[in-house]
Amino acid sequence: MFSFLRLLITLVIAISVIRSVVNFIQRLWGGTQQLRQTQAARPPLNTSGAATMLQQDPVCGTYVAVDSSLKKIVGGRVIHFCSAECRDRYPG
């Protein structure tokens, strides 16, 4: 009776280990396949050759792209902000 239970427990453990190894290999193989597909489908980052200009927000210090920043003209100079809160907090 005990030898049957020991055999059954050993069999369950062996099946669990084999399933874990197979799942690991599938995830490893699937991840490399997905990475290859992603890299092949991804366009180059900067096709125009032009660099994105960054300006530092004077309130919080965050660098923000000039194209997407909020702008405020102070003393004839354009100041770039990352958010409306920073723009409103700027003394000027």
Segment 44-76, tens digit of pLDDT = 555 555 567 899 999 999 899 998 899 999 889
DSSP state of 49: -
Going by pLDDT thresholds of 50, 70 and 90, the confidence category of residue 9 is very high
pLDDT at 13: 95
State whether residue 43 is helix, strand or coil.
Answer: coil
Q: Residue 64 is encoded by which pair of tokens?
A: 């923000």
Dist. CA 14–CA 3, nearest whole Å: 16
Going by pLDDT thresholds of 50, 70 and 90, the confidence category of residue 25 is confident
Segment 31-51, tens digit of pLDDT = 666 556 555 555 555 555 556
Going by pLDDT thresholds of 50, 70 and 90, the confidence category of residue 8 is very high
Helices (H), the chain: 2-41, 84-89
